[in-house]
């Protein structure tokens, strides 16, 4: 189960990231910075490599339409690049999560992580567009 440590070390080297991506509070968990306010959490257990991100606040306007749009995107993972959209327990924060088989090669892991990061950006923009959308 040491795939993730090797993968994250290699990723940091390739991206010329000098600081460790490993969480200082949760050993074995890595925090990949997306912007100054957002990071993807990456951890590994016996079921695979888990990716998670609290993307942004759910749109307060047009929430019902947004949720229908998100549920459609979750169908077969076609609008989320294989990840799953959800709301946090408060129902106010949009989240994205995915589990990747831990028996994956590094290049495929990197592609899946890139897709996950792209999905975060895409859904942040989608949420913003529903916030300003008029019916």
**83-114 per-position pLDDT tens digit:** 999 999 999 999 999 999 888 999 999 999 99
- Helices marked H in the chain — which ranges? 3-14, 63-74, 106-132
Mean pLDDT (the chain) is: 91
pLDDT of 18 over the 80 cut: yes
Residues 3-132, CATH architecture: 2-Layer Sandwich (3.30)
- Residues 27-60 pLDDT 10s: 889 999 988 889 999 999 989 999 999 999 999 8
Distance CA 18, CA 113 (A): 19
**What is the predicted pLDDT for the residue at 110?**
95
Instruction: Give counts: helices (H), strands (E), the chain.
Output: 3, 5
Grouping H, G, I as helix, E, B as strand and the rest as coil, residue 19 is coil
Distances (CA, A) of 28 to 20, 43, 110: 12, 6, 18
pTM: 0.91
Judged against a pLDDT cut of 70, whether residue 135 lies above it is answered with no
Provide CB contacts within 8 A for 65, sequence distance 6+. 130, 133, 135
What per-residue confidence (pLDDT) applies to 1? 54
What percent of the chain clears pLDDT 90, i.e. is strictly above it? 68
- pLDDT value at residue 48: 93
Is pLDDT above 70 for 115? yes
Report the range of poorest mean pLDDT among 10-14, 18-22, 56-60, 105-109.
Answer: 18-22
pLDDT at 19: 83
Is pLDDT at 72 greater than 90 in this prediction? yes
Long-range contacts of 75-81 (CB under 8 A, 24+ apart): 80/119, 80/123, 81/115, 81/116, 81/118, 81/119
């Amino acid at each position: 189960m040491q795939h993730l440590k090797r993968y994250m070390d290699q990723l940091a080297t390739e991206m010329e990231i000098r600081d460790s991506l490993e969480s200082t509070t949760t050993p074995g968990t890595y925090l990949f910075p997306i912007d100054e306010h957002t990071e993807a959490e990456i951890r590994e257990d016996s079921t695979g490599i888990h990716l998670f991100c609290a993307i942004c606040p759910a749109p307060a306007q047009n929430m019902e339409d947004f949720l229908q749009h998100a549920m459609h995107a979750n169908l077969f993972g076609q609008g989320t690049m294989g990840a799953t959209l959800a709301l946090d327990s408060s129902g106010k924060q949009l989240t994205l999560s995915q589990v990747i088989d831990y028996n994956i090669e590094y290049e495929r892991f990197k592609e899946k992580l890139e897709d996950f990061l792209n999905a975060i950006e895409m859904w942040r923009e989608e949420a913003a567009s529903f916030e300003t959308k008029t019916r």
